[in-house]
Structure 1
């Protein structure tokens, strides 16, 4: 079962993203409208979708950390990866909206953005960069797929804001004929958002499909198990990620002359030791094999 403190830390991190995105979405939207910058308005649209996707992360974290029950004997951890798919969908939708409006703006003559928009964008890039580092660190610490996805939202926002800064700078420096540089920046940002959506989608799909990506953890499991008295070797070792925890299937090789009771007790010792030394492991299913047949 997920430790209560981990669950609370994950939820606090998600709420940090929500409140931060609300403030930045309002700031970018107002500045974009007043400063005649669609790149900033597009950035505000992305931040708004980030708010909804972060709310989904909260829902997913709450549901995925529920204990196992009769209908879900392995727990509800896969819900976190499923929620990540919805987060990706929000990104794709926002990228589509930004791209369509950018193309319309490129085809329509308009005034250049106001210089003060650059100051706002620099502040946004700084805040989003720091937010990415904070949320990404928590995602790694908690082994949370959805928090890692949320971190990528922050990084995506930082880069799209940087692109907007470049576009507005070109429009202001080059003058007449370059007013659409701002819109081209927004269009480029939409492509980057799609790319980020793929980077978020891939590990979530890997988790749902139980793809093997945990060689370091497997090696750690083998070392701990083989150092326990009575264990001669380990054979098969499969690891599945389930939310913020892992389920392990492990084959132990033991002396073929010991009793069934002794083998059973040894398996429990190995399981308890692994769960104690590697807190991210929720459960270990052990098959005991004799060293000789």
Structure 2
């Protein structure tokens, strides 16, 4: 299975998961008299729309290079990540607004069985986070990382709701708003993690050259290519799940232009074979 197909399947998995859980939360919240669960369901619903955006972004990013986009369409992925972060922020403020509203509105205690529903949701959401995050690391995808954090953020709000409902149930009358205060704490954590998702995507859009491990791997492979006597500058840019490289390589100064050209092509072919995620590789030959 190709990297892009694996990424798309991962997002479809998230969409189905969020749809089932959103329905479960709304039903449990309505029949179990839990405003925290209803707010949790709102976040899952927002996550569904965000996942659709990620899916569209990944499909657009995998389009091949063309005349107007010689480096491909990979930059669409971090741009979609920005939108996903906005959805996360909206989710946090929506939950906070609902929690504050509930604090000001007297309401009955939630049903004790809602804790079992939340326990299952928390477990499944954490499993979903681990699955999506492992694939985001494998594919080096910023949008999948954001998608993983949607699952973790959902799990966090569910944990907060679990704690709040537990306090409300065991505390009894006068503790009805405990789950709402817990939801406010969860919102702060979600907003904090938005920066952790946003910063790598911004780095990708700004073409920051911070891929030291990949750079070292490129240099080591280059040294093994016949005719290459060393490397100098090595710039790496990330676009979606692809890396573009500008490399200065040293060859003997007495070689002809044709010989230097052939060595450069050999080096380029070797790098792309050894590191499949490399896209465009520009080799600049310098005499040693």
Q: What's the offset of the Cα at 1:246?
A: 0.3
Give the stretch that moved more between structures: 108-117 or 69-78. Answer: 108-117
Which one of the candidate residues 72, 87, 95 is aligned to 1:98?
Answer: 95
Aligned to 2:24: 27
Q: What's the offset of the Cα at 1:43?
A: 1.1
Which one of the candidate residues 217, 225, 230 is aligned to 1:220?
Answer: 217
Q: What's the offset of the Cα at 1:212?
A: 2.2
CA distance in 2, matches of 1:183, 1:128: 21
- RMSD value over aligned CA atoms? 1.0
Which one of the candidate residues 247, 252, 255 is aligned to 1:255?
Answer: 252
Paired residue secondary structure (1:231): coil
Paired residue secondary structure (2:160): helix
Superposed CA deviations along residues 199-218 of structure 1, whole A, max 9, x for unmatched, are 21111111101112211000
- 1:176 matched to 2:181? The reply is no
Which one of the candidate residues 85, 105, 108 is aligned to 2:105?
Answer: 108
CA distance in 1, matches of 2:12, 2:287: 51
- 1:290 matched to 2:262? The reply is no
Superposed CA deviations along residues 234-269 of structure 1, whole A, max 9, x for unmatched, are 100011001111000100011111111111111111
Q: What's the offset of the Cα at 1:33?
A: 1.5
Aligned to 1:58: 55
Aligned to 2:125: 128
Q: What's the offset of the Cα at 1:196?
A: 2.2
Contact persistence 1:271–1:283 (CA under 8 A): no
CA distance in 2, matches of 1:157, 1:95: 10
CA distance in 2, matches of 1:25, 1:59: 21
Paired residue secondary structure (2:234): strand
Give the stretch that moved more between structures: 269-278 or 170-179. Answer: 170-179
TM-score calculated relative to the size of structure 1: 0.96
Superposed CA deviations along residues 134-169 of structure 1, whole A, max 9, x for unmatched, are 111111111211111101111111121111111111
Q: Structure 1 runs of 4+ off > 4 angstroms?
A: none
- 1:175-214 aligned within 5 A: 175-214=172-211
CA distance in 1, matches of 2:130, 2:34: 28
Aligned to 2:236: 239
- 1:271 matched to 2:268? The reply is yes
Contact persistence 1:84–1:146 (CA under 8 A): yes
CA distance in 1, matches of 2:99, 2:126: 25
Contact persistence 1:113–1:182 (CA under 8 A): no
CA distance in 2, matches of 1:31, 1:195: 28
CA distance in 1, matches of 2:198, 2:214: 23
Paired residue secondary structure (2:248): strand
Aligned to 1:77: 74
CA distance in 2, matches of 1:30, 1:196: 28
CA distance in 2, matches of 1:203, 1:136: 15
CA distance in 2, matches of 1:38, 1:188: 15
Aligned to 1:165: 162
CA distance in 2, matches of 1:97, 1:9: 32
Contact persistence 1:168–1:181 (CA under 8 A): yes
